[in-house]
């Protein structure tokens, strides 16, 4: 574990600039970057752990705040000697403040994810996602952090009629999770206006890829389908399967975070992060079957409360503000996600500890 970061108030001193090369979406990008000290909340989670790896690859000093309630320590095992881990709750301002002290950037990925979970327990979802986000913003303001990049969600749109989703259209979340993410967005915008704390909120659309857990009762659809198809069982489809989603590979989301951290003129903005293409759940199941070369069996079940019918994004604002461009196709992403998930499954079966 590296030495603790300095506790004194952060002074914005730029280090000598140097080149780094990192892989995003399977492509190498050479970028000029000044080494900075960053905090990733929820850094042991699916997206957070992928972001931590990318930040280390570009040479940053990385601290992680996580309580490991939904994040997995295995996601950080290979990185443990290169990061500082602060174990604690987003709901504790003191713990959050200690984690924020001395950093220049905060990537706020920490949350209680899942629409079904929020329907089951809206109180805890709100406490973590709303109060926790407010704690992060307050601590960032108090410690003179340069910018906070906030992980929001396409759930904020709900079942608004217009497709594709654009940032300036009416938001109408129908789940407690969507409400919590919209609240976090509005706090970010308010802090950028009232306190001059730079913030950027990224609305993620159905992210999938390595380090995603297929075993949770609230598991996302892609890892759950991959695991079930591999085991020869039927995939559960809620509704008739014609509902559409914009499935986005995690390396594209990581790249969006890196761009959002430094984009000029982006403070106070809310931006869709997706591929700009839609795929039905039926077609997703078929594509996973083709990827694994296994016949698909589908089990149709009633729609679950709180879930939206269709969701896909217009990403013009992300292109304009951030220079974002998705690099990984759905087909390539499914192949990479399946390879990683099955590799981890085999390794775990050999050594469950």
Which CATH number goes with the domain that contains 237?
3.40.50.720
User: Does 314 reside within a domain?
Assistant: yes
CA distance 176 to 126: 8
10 Å CB burial of residue 111 (0-12, 13-18, 19+) is: buried
User: Does 11 reside within a domain?
Assistant: no
Q: What are phi and psi of 34, to 5 degrees?
A: -95, 125
The length of the chain in residues reads 353
Model pLDDT, residue 14 = 31
User: Does 25 reside within a domain?
Assistant: no
CA distance 36 to 142: 19
CA distance 237 to 282: 8
User: Does 171 reside within a domain?
Assistant: yes
Residue 195 bears catalytic tag: no
> Rg (Cα) of the chain, in Å, rounded?
19
Model pLDDT, residue 117 = 94
Model pLDDT, residue 115 = 92
User: Does 75 reside within a domain?
Assistant: yes
353: Cβ–Cβ under 8 A, 6 or more apart, which residues? none
Split into its structural domains, the chain has a count of: 1
Torsion of CA 147, 153, 156, 157, to 10 degrees: 120
10 Å CB burial of residue 292 (0-12, 13-18, 19+) is: middle
Please list the alpha-helical segments (H only) found in 231-329.
250-262, 281-292, 316-322
Q: Which domain holds residue 139?
A: 36-348
Reported as a single tens digit per residue, the pLDDT across 190-218 is: 999 999 999 999 999 999 999 998 887 77
Model pLDDT, residue 343 = 84
Model pLDDT, residue 19 = 33
CA distance 323 to 310: 26
Residues of the chain under the 50 pLDDT cut: 1-32, 348
User: Does 123 reside within a domain?
Assistant: yes
CA count, 13 A, side-chain hemisphere, 2: 17
User: Does 164 reside within a domain?
Assistant: yes
120: Cβ–Cβ under 8 A, 6 or more apart, which residues? none
- The catalytic residue among 20, 93, 157, 177 is 177
User: Does 200 reside within a domain?
Assistant: yes
């Amino acid at each position: 574990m590296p030495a603790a970061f300095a506790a004194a108030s952060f002074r914005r001193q730029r280090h000598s600039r140097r080149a780094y090369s990192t892989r995003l979406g399977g492509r190498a990008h050479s970028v000029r970057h000044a080494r900075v000290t960053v905090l990733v909340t929820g850094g042991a989670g699916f997206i957070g752990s992928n972001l931590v790896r990318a930040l280390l690859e570009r040479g940053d000093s990385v601290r992680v705040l996580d309580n490991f309630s939904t994040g997995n320590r295995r996601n950080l095992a290979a990185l443990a000697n290169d990061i500082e881990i602060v174990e604690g709750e987003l709901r504790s301002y003191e713990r959050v403040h200690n984690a924020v002290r001395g950093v220049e950037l905060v990537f706020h990925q920490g949350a209680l994810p899942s629409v079904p979970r929020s329907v089951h327990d809206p109180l805890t979802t709100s406490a973590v996602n709303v109060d926790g986000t407010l704690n992060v913003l307050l601590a960032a303001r108090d410690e003179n952090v340069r910018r906070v990049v906030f992980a929001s969600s396409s759930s904020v749109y709900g079942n608004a009629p217009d497709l594709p989703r654009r940032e300036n259209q009416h938001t109408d979340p129908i789940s407690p999770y969507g409400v919590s993410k919209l609240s976090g967005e509005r706090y970010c915008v308010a802090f950028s206006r009232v306190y001059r704390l730079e913030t950027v909120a990224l609305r993620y659309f159905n992210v999938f890829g390595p380090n995603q857990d297929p075993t949770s009762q609230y598991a996302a659809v892609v890892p759950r389908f991959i695991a079930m198809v591999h085991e020869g069982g039927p995939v559960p489809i809620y509704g008739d399967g014609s509902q559409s989603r914009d499935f986005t590979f995690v390396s594209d989301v990581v790249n969006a975070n890196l761009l959002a951290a430094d984009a000029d003129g982006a403070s106070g903005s809310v931006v869709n992060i997706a591929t700009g293409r839609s795929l039905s759940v039926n077609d997703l199941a078929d594509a996973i079957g083709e990827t694994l070369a296994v016949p698909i069996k589908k089990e149709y079940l009633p729609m679950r409360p709180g879930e939206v019918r269709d969701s896909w994004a217009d990403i013009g604002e992300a292109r304009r503000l951030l220079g974002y461009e998705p690099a990984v196709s759905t087909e390539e992403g499914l192949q990479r996600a399946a390879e990683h998930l099955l590799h981890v499954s085999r390794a775990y079966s050999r050594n469950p500890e």
